[in-house]
Amino acid sequence: MKKTLITGAAGFLGSHLCDRFIAEGHHVIAMDNLITGDLKNIEHLFHLERFEFYHHDVTKFVHVPGKMDHILHFASPASPIDYLKIPIETLKVGSIGTLNLLGLAKDHKAKILVASTSEVYGDPLVHPQSEDYFGNVSPIGPRGVYDEAKRFMESITMAYHRHHGLDTRIVRIFNTYGSRMRLNDGRVVPAFMGQALRGEDLTVFGDGSQTRSFTYIDDQIEGIYRLLMSDYVEPINIGNPDETTILEFAEEIIKLTGTNQKIVFKPLPQDDPSQRQPDIARAKEILDWEPRVHRSEGLKKVYEYFKSLSPEELRQKEH
Ligand code: NAD
Ligand code: UDP
């Protein structure tokens, strides 16, 4: 039986990865320090013999006994309000945490996949963004703590591949949404849906002309799984190229939820990227992957999820 370590396992993406690798018949070792995650995302797996949980901070020495075949390093705050609140932890998990996991992969001769991000392109001057674009990141801006940690993660991962011959994969994840996102994590999908459900106005930052391209969780997990199983070492974008402005997106959420609330405008956060859309030619060619779930369908599913939350959970505001 394959043994797979997943860091950040109690978070949004990590918990869905646990489900997928359990469904594929792996023994899953889940690791998380719960700084932004929640055990309730994985508690349905606790009864399984093939599932173990380690409450551990990956910036501290990581030791896991026995054999290991794969490591998926997903531990990191991921929402702008999270990483602005805990900037040093964010830098440490992307740098020291990645170093620790690469060392663990080397000891176990395991294959390692690291979770990078479209933020490595910063506020991109090239559109759409293909993997050979080097990006436009401010190292000293507030978002630099996340972007530069992820850029370092990519560099050190390639160094371990080239210098130690480690079997590595790098996924550049574009904005992904789905069940188990924290309603108060500040990202735009839970923010707008939470506001609609609480009967509050929707807060659009700036004039709403900035664009994003949203990927449904099932498509993202499929792309990550295919990348791990491939033999491709260079970074690959996984994202849905269906681009929208944030203002149009707010209008879409108002229509979907039937809320009577209006849109209000708030200041644009510093260094908020003005446009983002993945070029997925590489994912199509190498992984035979492309997104299957249309935004209207995916948003309906995630709205059903948020509607099922308790009134206490709904009251947790994002700002
Ligand atoms: P999340 O906040 O839901 O999950 C992150 C998890 O990592 C949490 O459970 C948190 O407690 C854990 N964690 C953080 N620091 C840790 C540490 N030092 N030791 C152990 N655990 C730690 O975020 P997410 O959206 O699931 O993102 C997961 C990964 O995917 C991150 O690496 C993120 O950068 C990357 N990513 C996500 C998106 C997206 O749209 N969701 C986009 C690009 C990249
Ligand atoms: N955004 C917004 N209102 C909110 C939360 C976010 O207008 O209440 C905007 C944000 O400024 C950004 C976009 O939505 O332009 C996506 O933000 P998110 O935090 O989800 O992800 P990221 O900026 O990392 O892509």
Cα 310 to averaged position of ligand 2 atoms, centre (Å): 25
Rounded to an integer, the average pLDDT of 15-31 is 98
**pLDDT at position 318 over 90:** no
Pocket of ligand 2 contains residue 5 by CB under 6 Å: no
**pLDDT at position 319 over 60:** no
Cα 225 to averaged position of ligand 2 atoms, centre (Å): 27
**pLDDT at position 187 over 90:** yes
Rounded to an integer, the average pLDDT of 24-47 is 98
Give the model confidence (pLDDT) of 144-160 as tens digits. Answer: 999 999 999 999 999 99
Q: Ligand 2 pocket check: which of 119, 184, 246, 264 to mutate, most ligand atoms within 8 Å of Cβ?
A: 246
**pLDDT at position 115 over 50:** yes
Mean pLDDT, the chain, whole residue set: 97
Active site residue 146: yes
ipTM above 0.90, yes or no: yes
- Per residue, the 3-state secondary structure of the chain, as one string, reads CCEEEEECCCCHHHHHHHHHHHHCCCEEEEEECCCCCCHHHCHHHCCCCCEEEEECCCCCCCCCCCCCCEEEECCCCCCHHHHHHCHHHHHHHHHHHHHHHHHHHHHHCCEEEEEEEHHHHECCCCCCECCCCCCECCCCCCCHHHHHHHHHHHHHHHHHHHHHCCCEEEEEECCEECCCCCCCCCCHHHHHHHHHHHCCCEEEECCCCCEEECEEHHHHHHHHHHHHHCCCCCCEEECCCCEEEHHHHHHHHHHHHCCCCCEEEECCCCCCCCCCCECCHHHHHHHCCCCCCCHHHHHHHHHHHHHCCCHHHHHCCCC
Considering only CA atoms, which residue is closest to atom 27 of ligand 1?
78
Cα 36 to averaged position of ligand 1 atoms, centre (Å): 8
Model pTM above 0.95: yes
Give the model confidence (pLDDT) of 44-94 as tens digits. Answer: 999 999 999 999 999 999 999 999 999 999 999 999 999 999 999 999 999
Pocket of ligand 2 contains residue 150 by CB under 6 Å: no
